Structure 1
């Protein structure tokens, strides 16, 4: 067999081994997301084509990251998790010191023409770190449990200082899901829940910024400030409701085209999609996300090692929260937190994080076949 034949056989073997169910779901969601982004950015100065093309490039780079991370033997990452954690903390500290400020928040490091958002990397690093930590530890021990809380509290605190409450909540949810999957006693969860409730007055008084408090208040009733903090939610709900069953048509959404809808290409992109395509296609998006999440749970259930299982659970948890919170936020069912919608919202760092994470899930699946 010649070199060309061996290369062809290796390629065919690689293609046969891919999880085509996950790739099909990701492909459809990505295509719908690009359609929504193209329409959402059309009203931008210059037509917004540069936003669409930039995101298209990020999708290409993201798929390369997916392929590369899927080829990594996930067990090798156990010993590298500590290094990844230190790098994450260092990058988050650099953001506070030298980050680019936009909209009152410092969340990005400028690397020439590219802006890196280190807090997004935490969504893949923390599942790795927590999975490695819990693999050979027992959550029934208070020392280990406290140490795991500290592992998440450090990066979450740095993220809160940016400030970015949404990402800090994602970190906390990752910890909750991974620790629950590891078998934390229910009584500990009850104590943590009670402690969280007891700390709410302190958080409200000393931690939350004024704009974050306003977001919570307008979640309860957006019309208490219809031209201020409640404006975003009201316009997003109008967009979703005006789409009807089949929408107004591609590029025909008035809320985004007439610039009533804030942040149409990031936080509120689902509102753009719902207005232009309607209820049934929007329901299809929900079903596709649901199937993708089920696929991740299937991989976690079939994982041959504890590290792989907990890693996939951590990735599942951040995708679940982002999907649920973003869509609920656009309909006024959850407070506005700035959490983006995977595959839809504009942003290179977020997209690379999602594709890297799914690549690691594929690595775990390959190890279980």
Structure 2
């Protein structure tokens, strides 16, 4: 019996319930943090929590649709999805809405779409399929894989959205590792990336350069580019062991912490729930990523194995970067915290990614039981 022919009860029974429950718990904690970040401030005039809850409902629908279709069927459309997302990314450069120094969104009335988030799904599908056919064990296979990654990364770089491009890089590197690219290729690519840093500096926008500088010393511009990092550090540090309590965080409630419901949502949570709450969230994310990796290790389908690895790398890297920039250990990139930060496109994309992983799990479990 194929996944498409299963009843909903059978589909739900085939889920990795631990993974699903952890994802729901993280989303619920994110809703609480978004509510706290916007409650009692001027931003409360905009119902962010209601909107995020609505996006959560849409994400659940997307999750169910992908699960019903199954990853094997979706793979047949992977190149079409890849091409469609590239078309959207090019459209963004023409008619996109600019905000925070980047032209990354397409407005459809009150609805706003960020195609770069969908690009993570498109990249995972297309690149894993290519890596299965053109394994990066020689230069031809390596360049083929890198060309697929570059095809979707270049228009995002032109927006410019450097943070998302770095996520693409992490996903691609994870794919190369799982597809068994020779170690010398991996080492040389890492060396080339480091060697390209001076060139990257010359093509960065001024605000991006300033973010790098304040990473080393936020006090060189304490009221400008360094302000976010300084306030975020204060929020995280003031949480102490147990935190100040829900709705008791002063940095967000008094509007000291900018972008508290998106980029710095971790700082809001850390201030209110302290070190203990932060450890609990890290354990939940660790459990989620561990379950994803376990699915990748179980499946015998090399395409699925690479795809699952890319999704794990995506979630892990975004979590690491979001937390690191909140405490000043990484430059501010504007990357959302998966399942936590406010943002519809990001939430739907992560949900689709988790649905693909669950579909791989269900298919692997069925074959194992047979």
By the TM > 0.5 criterion, same fold?
Answer: yes
After superposition, where does 1:73-88 map in structure 2 within 5 Å? 73-88=70-85
Instruction: State the secondary structure of the residue aligned to 2:133.
Output: coil
**Stretches (4+) displaced over 6 A:** none
User: Is 2:149 the counterpart of 1:161?
Assistant: no
**CA distance in structure 2 between the partners assigned to 1:145 and 1:133 by the alignment:** 10
**CA distance in structure 2 between the partners assigned to 1:201 and 1:298 by the alignment:** 38
Q: Contact 2:293/2:312 (CA < 8 Å) preserved in 1?
A: yes
The count of residues paired between Structure 1 and Structure 2 equals 360
Name 2:3's counterpart in structure 1: none
Name 1:98's counterpart in structure 2: 95
After superposition, where does 1:323-334 map in structure 2 within 5 Å? 323-334=319-330
Name 1:311's counterpart in structure 2: 307
Q: Contact 2:134/2:144 (CA < 8 Å) preserved in 1?
A: no
Instruction: State the secondary structure of the residue aligned to 2:84.
Output: helix
User: Is 2:195 the counterpart of 1:189?
Assistant: no
**CA distance in structure 1 between the partners assigned to 2:7 and 2:189 by the alignment:** 50
Name 2:343's counterpart in structure 1: 347
Q: Contact 1:297/1:312 (CA < 8 Å) preserved in 2?
A: yes
Instruction: State the secondary structure of the residue aligned to 2:292.
Output: helix
Instruction: State the secondary structure of the residue aligned to 1:39.
Output: helix
Q: Contact 2:135/2:141 (CA < 8 Å) preserved in 1?
A: yes
After superposition, where does 1:68-217 map in structure 2 within 5 Å? 68-205=65-202, 207-217=203-213
Instruction: State the secondary structure of the residue aligned to 1:107.
Output: strand
Instruction: State the secondary structure of the residue aligned to 1:78.
Output: helix
**CA drift at 1:131:** 0.7
Q: TM-score, normalised by structure 2?
A: 0.94
| Structure 1: runs of 5+ lacking an equivalent | 1-8
**CA distance in structure 2 between the partners assigned to 1:125 and 1:174 by the alignment:** 12
User: Is 2:268 the counterpart of 1:272?
Assistant: yes
**CA drift at 1:265:** 0.4
**CA drift at 1:55:** 0.4
**CA drift at 1:104:** 2.6
| Structure 2: runs of 5+ lacking an equivalent | 1-5, 366-370
CA RMSD of aligned residues (A): 1.4
Name 1:361's counterpart in structure 2: 357
